[in-house]
Structure 1
Amino acid sequence: MKKYYRLFGFEFKGILRDPISLLLLAFPALLLFLSCFVIPRVLRTLPPMEALTAQGVTLLMIMTIASFSGVLAGAMATFMLLDHKDEHTLHTIAATPLGLPGYLMFKMVYIFIAAAVSVFVVLTGTKLLAADAYTLLGMRLLERISMGHIIAFSLVSALTAPMIALTLGALAKNKVEGFAWIKGSGLLAFIPLLLLLPAFGGAKQYFLGVFPNFWASKALAVKLLADQDPLNLSFTLYILIGALYSVLAIAGSFRLFLRKQQY
């Protein structure tokens, strides 16, 4: 266990030395500020009818903001993996008792934990500090979700982080390529907004199921917006399918990363 503590200390020092990683680390605080203070202030400036229309859209924006924490954690982990590629240290890691697979598992676990905590903090902070700002017909929408719902969503949503890190780390040859891939992966954070479109109502929603973060986002949308579409699944089923799909995607990405490495 001590070797993992020492390894975590080394990794944390590396994060502190990298300005990009530091910025990504601080981003959840900015997301929380936006969801608790900036967006509610904008809503209060709207006429009553426009504000009513904007509530549902804005709530899905909050879901997008929360989901973005997982994408950001994945981006940070991608840069850390590409650092090893640029510095040609993967062969050194492979020669250690931990080995490259063990090191990757360790890194992905703490990235997953960081992402889950970020999502939880953003959603819980918004619920505790700004629930009054998100109402529909007098109902505080964030009161429709319990801490259990938030925890389940946070855990499944955070699985996006290791999947992104391993996939992009395998596909990109260096940080320059990695940055281009990361910009493209940021589109995953906007999948929840597509749930608003009539084109993805009913059975058509499942076309979005190819994106791993769809399942957790849809689970939360069903609770927050009280969506009664008969073709919807329950919150629990969406969460379970999302968890299983994400774990399988991570396993595939893990194998892809190991296969792509030449050390």
Structure 2
Amino acid sequence: MTWTWIAPLSRYDLKLIGRDRFLLLMFGFNFIMAALLRWLLPWAHQTLSSKGLLPSNSLPFSLADCYPLLMAYFSFFEGAVIAGIIFGFMLLDEKDETTLQALLVTPVPIQHYLLYRIGLSYLAALAFIWVMYLGIGLVPLAPGPLLLLSLGGALTAPLVLLFFALAAENKVQGFAMSKFTGIAGWVILFGWFVPEPWQWLLGVFPPFWISQAYWLYLVQSPHWWLCLLPGFGLQLLLTVGLLWCFQQQVYQNS
């Protein structure tokens, strides 16, 4: 089986995105958010500091102290989530129009097609993460660690895509599910303030490991890369499991 179908399908995807205002907005959202946060966060830090709100007697830290938290959340998590939402909505379109069932009687194996979708979401997530991190630019990071962290963070995109595909039947339900993905990311925000060893319990949420590896790198821990192992492993295992479940769903509905 050759993969010659990828080129025409990619052209079709570009046309589909170009016609969908929501998908175009999501693509542009990364650039808009990065530009806003690059200006807004330093302004908020100066304002809160000058008014004695952060730091204060009750909150002995400044907003600048939380930059690593915000960079991890918006770059490594939200960057990947946005990519997963974009390609998840494209898959929901195909699910709603029974395109996936039609693929079962074509020479294109459904497994190859889904791997194509997953691969695109992963590559888009890599690009979005770099756009967000370098665009916000508040915490410098060497290219090597940034690449490793991005490779791990981007694995969240296929999880979001497959979650949408399994849990939603159409775009209306997909919009509701998108709120859940945002709430799930609160684990990362919450984890910043949880002391060790309790902080490690939040590793049940696989994307948290990527943020934890990032934070450990910033404090020059020699073991930061060890957090990448469960970050990669758990997300890959979940992706394989969700992919298998979705394939079974497609076959059952055919």
Is the TM-score greater than 0.5? yes
Is 2:185 the partner of 1:193? Answer: no
One-letter identity of the residue aligned with 2:184: L
Which residue does 1:208 correspond to in 2?
Answer: 202
Question: Could you state the TM-score of these two structures normalised by the residue count of structure 2?
Answer: 0.88
Q: Is the Cα–Cα contact under 8 Å of residues 163 and 249 in structure 1 kept in the other structure?
A: yes
User: Quick one: distance in 2 between partners of 1:38 and 1:32?
Assistant: 10
Question: How many residues are paired up?
Answer: 242
1:84 offset after TM fit, Å? 1.1
Assess if the C-alpha contact under 8 Å between 1:153 and 1:220 holds in 2: yes
Q: Tell me which residue corresponds to 1:7.
A: 9
- CA drift at 1:59: 3.2
Q: Unpaired segments of 5 or more residues in structure 2? A: 56-60
- Report the CA distance between 1:182 and its aligned residue: 1.7
Residues 71 and 189 in structure 1, CA contact (< 8 A), matched pair in contact too = no
TM, length-normalised to structure 1: 0.85
Seq. identity, %:
29
Deviations 1:91-116 (A, max 9, x none): 22222222211111001101100011
C-alpha contact (below 8 Å) 2:92/2:164 kept by paired residues: no
Aligned residue number for residue 16 of structure 1: 18
Q: Which has the higher helix share?
A: 1
Pairing 1:152–2:148 present: yes
Which sections of structure 1, spanning at least 5 residues, go unmatched? 132-141
Offset of residue 221 of structure 1: 1.4
Q: Paired residue for 2:164, among 159, 165, 168?
A: 168
Please name the residue that 1:106 is paired with: 116
* Distance in 1 between residues matched to 2:105 and 2:213, nearest whole Å: 43
**Structure 1: 4+ residue segments shifted above 4 A:** none
Distance 2:186 2:78 in 1: 8
After the TM superposition, which of the residue ranges 53-62 and 65-74 deviates more from structure 2? 53-62
Counterpart-to-counterpart distance in 2, 1:124 and 1:239: 21
Is residue 242 of structure 1 aligned with residue 231 of structure 2?
Answer: yes
Q: Indicate the residue corresponding to 2:58 in structure 1.
A: none
